[in-house]
Chains A and B, each alone.
Chain A
């Protein structure tokens, strides 16, 4: 597609539930990144994929968070047993081969845990 697409744009879930957030990167972009942005803060790195594999998952806050990219394009961020502190905007970005200059961000998924 022309840009990075994220769905849903908004998600409200109850504490303890499981959620999946989807990212469809720009066609041909091999690198995909997930970030989380809380109110009043800059985006915080979660995980980076190069192709199908997670090249760096050091930003995932705990084992409730998991992400996959099985075919090297679409990625899904999965959060188990959601907590109110997980409420944030989850941003996805893609680029060509991890090129720092060529990032394109999606418009994000706003997750609210009630």
Chain B
């Protein structure tokens, strides 16, 4: 079993739709949590950090549930430019070392 699990998708949604991605992690000692975005044939880029209190950045909302070891990302009012792979990422310490990636969830927004 992978340490970070995601539904690979693809999720095909129309412009303007709301879409949610989920991710689970198996190591209860995980400390920091992120969502990264990766465009086709490009490097991953940090989208946002994830906190237990939840955090929002424009149309994007991330949530962490430590008890269930579950992370979510909600995208409202989807744009064509949101089409990408969204990677769920955890670390095992606050000032780490390595990022542990899920396989990614592919999102395709159509007109």
B43 to chain A, nearest CB (A): 4
Determine whether B103 belongs to the interface, using a CB cutoff of 8 Å to chain A.
Answer: yes
C-alpha spacing A40/B91, complex, angstroms: 21
C-alpha spacing A43/B104, complex, angstroms: 9
Q: A105-B43, A105-B44 are in contact. Are A42 and B98 (CB under 8 A)?
A: no
With CB as the reference atom, state the residue of chain B lying closest to A6. Answer: B43
CB within 8 A of B101: which of A40, A43, A100, A106? A43
User: Chain B at the A interface: mostly helix, strand, loop or mixed?
Assistant: loop
Q: A43-B44, A105-B45, A108-B43 are in contact. Are A99 and B97 (CB under 8 A)?
A: no
Query: B: which residues have CB within 8 A of A?
Result: 4, 8, 32, 34, 42-46, 49, 87, 91, 93-104
B55 to chain A, nearest CB (A): 13
What 8 A-B pairs come out closest when comparing CB atoms? A42-B101, A105-B43, A45-B98, A100-B91, A100-B32, A42-B103, A43-B101, A100-B96
C-alpha spacing A105/B89, complex, angstroms: 14
Determine whether A66 belongs to the interface, using a CB cutoff of 8 Å to chain B.
Answer: no
Interface size of A by CB at 8 A reads 23
Q: Which residues of A contact B103 (CB under 8 A)?
A: 40-42
Asked if A97 contacts B95 (CB within 8 A), the reply is yes
Query: A: which residues have CB within 8 A of B?
Result: 33, 35, 40-45, 48, 55-56, 59, 91, 97-101, 103, 105-108
Asked if B99 contacts A100 (CB within 8 A), the reply is yes
Q: Which residues of B contact A45 (CB under 8 A)?
A: 98-100
C-alpha spacing A101/B87, complex, angstroms: 15
CB within 8 A of A56: which of B97, B102, B104? B97
